[in-house]
């Protein structure tokens, strides 16, 4: 019997929920988690070497190290420390028994709670309450001596503990080998956005070592590209992404220098791609997937369309040629711009400007953060040229606005 396309509610629900876990694009959701620890840290190779140098004696039975790692949000401080702890345990497994404890001092914001967390990791049955700080530290010494292991303590966001409890715990941890025969029981890594060495007492700085400071800068676009590529390789279905789309995502995240931002943008593009899937969709990330709006996130500079309203008409023609090509692909060369610009000029019955003038327009677009440029190889050849992309705009939307403005200007 003809039912005019009506289906039972249960059928409709079943169909729309089928996309959950379908895995058309996303194969491993864990990879998109901010707390995911990759098998290899990318984009921070120089910093890794510097960190390892601070622990150059750790292979020795009485060797220890200490370091303060500082840097802005999303610069990779935590993942740097976590991967180092994991890797050094494996590297020295035949020479020394190393245990590591990672405490986030935003959650354990007093010195008492920090020591309780350390003891809980080392001895889960250890009592949490009813003991003084001195008794807790004595328990820690006893456990380390009995276990004959070296403890690597990471205090993440340590500034939260310092503001509430001061630096006495750091002093006690750095003196933990006193009154015993051996030394090299404990190593210490402090992590903070702030330069915490400036607020420590002289006695603590003396034991930490004022030169044991590693400052991490925000990620470059190449570092962000390496992170996004690593996540795509580990988490996405093969063939569902391209190096060009990953580069575009990295360029979009570049103003922040934040690894979390590039992961978030990649995840948002994946979600958008999964959302639009049907039997006829291309199961591959596109330019439009990259530009899906993210609510409650500050937009990058140059992200509103009115930013181009004061361009002169000839500059708009050049920009329109960019938008039309970048609506379909992630980047284009300057040579392609001039070819398409010729077509657009013919369409609007305008005389082409010189190569020098077109180049001047492109530099203006870059200064306004409408486009991004980079010098790279041409295909598989040895030649190099400038590649242009548009990470902060959806080219199709920008093209529509330019066409509207040009109608007014060329009436």
* 3-state percent helix, strand, coil for the chain, nearest multiple of 5: 50, 10, 40
- Please list the residue range(s) of the chain that carry CATH number 3.40.50.300: 45-215
pLDDT tens digit string along 16-30? 555 555 567 899 999
Element spanning 206, H or E: helix 202-208
Is the CATH number of domain 21-30+221-290 1.10.8.60? yes
Phi, psi of 213 (to 5 degrees): -125, 125
| Residue 115 · residue 133 · CB < 8 Å | yes
The boundaries of every CATH 1.10.10.10 domain in the chain are 305-409
Domain 305-409 has CATH 3.40.50.2300: no
pTM over the 0.85 mark = no
pLDDT of 294 higher than 70: no
Write out pLDDT tens, residues 79-95: 999 999 999 999 999 99
Select the highest-mean-pLDDT range: 306-310, 331-335, 375-379. 331-335
Contacts for 1 with CB less than 8 Å, ≥ 6 apart: none
- List beta partners, residue 67: 189
pLDDT at 108: 92
Strands (E), 230-304: none
Helix (H, G, I), strand (E, B) or coil at 400: helix
pLDDT class of 280 with cuts at 50, 70, 90: low
Q: Quote the mean pLDDT of the chain.
A: 86
Residue 301 has pLDDT above 50, yes or no: no
Look at residue 183 and tell me whether its pLDDT is greater than 80.
no
> Which residue in 302, 313, 307, 405 sits closest to 361, CA to CA?
313
Q: How far apart are CA 397 and CA 339, in angstroms?
A: 22
Does 324 score more than 80 pLDDT? yes
Q: How far apart are CA 250 and CA 206, in angstroms?
A: 41
Query: What is the structure's pLDDT at 278?
Result: 63
CATH for the 45-215 domain, from 3.30.70.20, 2.60.120.10, 3.40.50.300, 1.10.10.10: 3.40.50.300
Which phi and psi (to 5°) does residue 189 adopt? -120, 120
CA distance 283 to 273: 7
Look at residue 116 and give its three-state secondary structure. helix
**How many other C-beta atoms can be found within 10 angstroms of the C-beta atom of residue 234?**
15
Map 298-361 to HEC letters. CCCCCCCHHHHCCCCHHHHHHHHHHHHHHCCCCCEEHHHHHHHHHHHHHHHCCCCCCHHHHHHH
């Amino acid at each position: 019997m003809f039912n005019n396309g009506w289906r039972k509610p249960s059928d409709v629900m079943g169909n729309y929920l089928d996309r959950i876990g379908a895995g058309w694009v996303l194969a491993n959701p864990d990879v998109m988690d901010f707390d995911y620890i990759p098998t290899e840290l990318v984009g921070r190779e120089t910093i890794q070497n510097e960190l390892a140098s601070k622990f150059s004696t750790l292979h020795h039975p009485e060797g220890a190290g200490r370091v303060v790692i500082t840097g802005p949000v999303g610069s990779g401080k935590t993942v740097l420390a976590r991967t180092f702890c994991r890797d050094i345990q494996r590297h020295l497994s035949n020479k020394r028994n190393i245990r590591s404890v990672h405490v986030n001092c935003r959650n354990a914001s007093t010195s008492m709670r920090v020591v309780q967390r350390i003891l809980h990791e080392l001895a889960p049955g250890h009592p949490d309450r009813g003991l003084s700080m001195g008794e807790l530290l004595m328990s820690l010494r006893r456990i380390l001596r009995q276990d004959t292991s070296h403890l690597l303590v990471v205090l993440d966001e340590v500034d939260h503990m310092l503001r509430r409890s001061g630096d006495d715990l750091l002093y006690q941890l750095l003196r933990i080998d006193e009154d015993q025969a051996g030394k090299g029981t404990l190593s210490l890594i402090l992590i903070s956005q702030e330069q915490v060495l400036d607020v420590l007492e002289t006695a603590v700085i003396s034991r930490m070592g004022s030169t044991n400071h590693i400052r991490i800068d925000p990620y470059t676009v190449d570092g962000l590209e390496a992170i996004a590529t690593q996540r795509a390789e580990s988490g996405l279905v093969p063939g569902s992404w391209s190096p060009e789309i990953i580069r575009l995502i990295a360029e979009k995240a570049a103003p922040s220098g934040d690894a979390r931002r590039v992961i978030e943008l990649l995840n948002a593009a994946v979600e958008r791609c999964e959302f639009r899937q049907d039997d006829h969709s291309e199961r591959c990330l596109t330019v439009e997937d990259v530009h899906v709006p993210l609510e409650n996130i500050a937009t990058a500079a140059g992200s509103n369309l009115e930013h181009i309203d004061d361009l002169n008409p000839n500059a708009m023609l050049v920009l329109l040629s960019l938008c039309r090509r970048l609506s379909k692909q992630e980047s284009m060369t300057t040579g392609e711009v001039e070819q398409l610009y010729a077509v657009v000029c013919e369409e609007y019955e305008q005389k082409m400007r010189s190569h020098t003038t077109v180049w001047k327009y492109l530099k203006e677009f870059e200064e306004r953060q409408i486009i991004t440029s980079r010098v790279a190889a041409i295909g598989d050849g040895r030649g190099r040229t400038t590649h242009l992309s548009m990470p902060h705009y959806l080219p199709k939307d920008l093209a529509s606005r330019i066409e509207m403005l040009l109608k007014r200007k060329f009436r």
